[in-house]
Amino acid sequence: NAGVTQTPKFQVLKTGQSMTLQCAQDMNHEYMSWYRQDPGMGLRLIHYSVGAGITDQGEVPNGYNVSRSTTEDFPLRLLSAAPSQTSVYFCASSRTSTAGGYTFGSGTRLTVV
């Protein structure tokens, strides 16, 4: 039972490059979300999805895109990386958005130079 799997664990990008952070869950959870964690800021929601084909913006969506073509996968795309996107990114899933507890992945540490 893998839970929530994030890849890669570490990544260094140059300013302007694009990349996709992968997130997959094997618990048949409907709800998935992406957070970024910055020192002194806590965790902030980037984007979320309540089911396949449905996504919405969170608190800090600018510079990121998401799609949800399957229940299992919820990739996060950085369109043109900026140093301000240097952060630790966490993917989370839950059975529903309101009833279940959240399971988090182990995170992706991204540095943009």
82 residue type, one letter:
A
Residue 40 is a binding residue for another protein (CB under 8 A): yes
Q: How far apart are alpha carbons 74 and 28 in whole angstroms?
A: 12
Secondary structure (DSSP) of the chain = ---EEEE-SEEEE-TT--EEEEEEESS--SEEEEEEEETTTEEEEEEEEEETTEEEE-SS-TTEEE--SSSSB--EEESS--GGG-EEEEEEEESSSSSSPEEE---EEEEE-
Residue 98 is a binding residue for another protein (CB under 8 A): yes
Residue 52 is a binding residue for another protein (CB under 8 A): no
Give min distance, CB of 44 to another protein, in A. Answer: 8
Number of residues that bind another protein (CB under 8 A): 25
Residue 50 is a binding residue for another protein (CB under 8 A): yes
Interacting residues with another protein between 73 and 92 (CB under 8 A): 90, 92
Interacting residues with another protein between 54 and 73 (CB under 8 A): 56, 58-59
Among 19, 27, 45, 52, binds another protein (CB under 8 A): 45
**Which residue ranges make up the site for another protein (CB under 8 A)?**
31, 33, 40-43, 45, 48, 50, 56, 58-59, 90, 92, 97-107
